[in-house]
Amino acid sequence: MPKRKIIKIDEDKCNGCGLCMPNCPEGALRIIDGKARLISDLFCDGLGACIGHCPQGAITIEEREAEKYDERKVMANIVKKGKNVIKAHLEHLKDHNQTDFFNEAVEYLKERGMENPMHGFSGCPGAKTIDFKNENEQTESGSDIKVKSQLRQWPIQLHLISPEASYYQGADVLLAADCTAFALGSFHQDYLKGKALAIACPKLDEGQEVYVEKIKSLIDDAKINTLTVLIMQVPCCMGLLGLAKDAAGQAKRKVPIKYIVVSLQGDILKEEWV
């Protein structure tokens, strides 16, 4: 294990005041049993942003063997805390000329279609967060469209969505397998209307461990109201329900989860609460 700079906490001096924690956007510090603790070497960048905020002088920098700092794991933790924490972390990296880590963090945001709070939107225009709700409400009456779309947002693919988006907060969420919208003629009116949407394919999509974290964040951080999992009758589609169950099992909150199975001809074969 390589040596690198990392913080050291003198437990005799620490009084557990917690003033160091807000100044560690990386989430490396926690107050445990009345003392500040470094919970993981992976989250500590060793730059010491917390040092000047300890009134007891209990935090210093030492050089020792430690696991390599992992920017992507740090970002996975930070994005759940909202834009202000993301911005604080990016500014922290930039102020200390940590160009590689800064670029890695920005790339992490791009991959997930999330905004870079330092420079506005930082990803593909096709993944930019858009809330259609007010627009749809304004054009609902008098529209010439015979079958109106009930989509309230963009993006919708589970890899691209952000649980921090406003339209997920306290919402009823529909997690739909990609094919369901094509099989169900009444998809918009009967299943999507009034819900925030995320879509995924449990057979073809890669990086599904991220899906579990996103669904868990929807439950714990966005505090969604209900989750409906809409899947096809084919066996591989049950994987999406499995991901939702795994996330719900790891979440601190409990939310009602319903799953609906659709036949290849668009009939509803099963509708049950988990």
pLDDT surpasses 60 at 138: no
Which CATH entry fits the domain spanning 130-141+148-273: 3.40.50, 1.10.10, 3.40.1350, 3.20.20?
3.40.50
DSSP count for the chain of H helices, then E strands: 7, 13
pTM: 0.56
The reply to whether 1-68 and 130-141+148-273 are identical in fold is no
Q: Do the strands 172-177 and 196-200 form a parallel or antiparallel pair, or are they unpaired?
A: parallel
Q: How much is the pLDDT for 98?
A: 81
Confidence of residue 157 (pLDDT cuts 50, 70, 90): very high
Q: Which residue has the tokens 């939107």?
A: 121
Nearest to 239 by CA among 231, 247, 249: 231
Q: How much is the pLDDT for 99?
A: 83
Q: How much is the pLDDT for 189?
A: 93
Q: What is the mean pLDDT of residues 78-103?
A: 82
Written as six digits, the tokens of 210 are 């991220």
Judge if the upstream peptide bond of residue 155 is cis by omega within 30 degrees of 0.
Answer: yes
Q: What is the mean pLDDT of residues 216-221?
A: 94
Residue 231 DSSP label: E
What kind of fold does domain 1-68 have according to CATH?
Alpha-Beta Plaits (3.30.70)
Q: Are 173 and 196 spatial neighbours (Cβ–Cβ below 8 Å)?
A: yes
Query: What is the domain partition of the chain in residue ranges?
Result: 1-68, 70-123, 130-141+148-273
User: Any alpha helices (H) in 17-111, and if so which ranges?
Assistant: 71-78, 83-95, 99-111
Q: What is the mean pLDDT of residues 81-100?
A: 80
pLDDT tens column, 2-37: 888 998 999 999 999 888 887 787 888 888 888 988
Q: Using CA atoms, how far apart are residues 220 and 216, in angstroms rounded to an integer?
A: 6
Q: How much is the pLDDT for 171?
A: 95
Residue 157 DSSP label: B
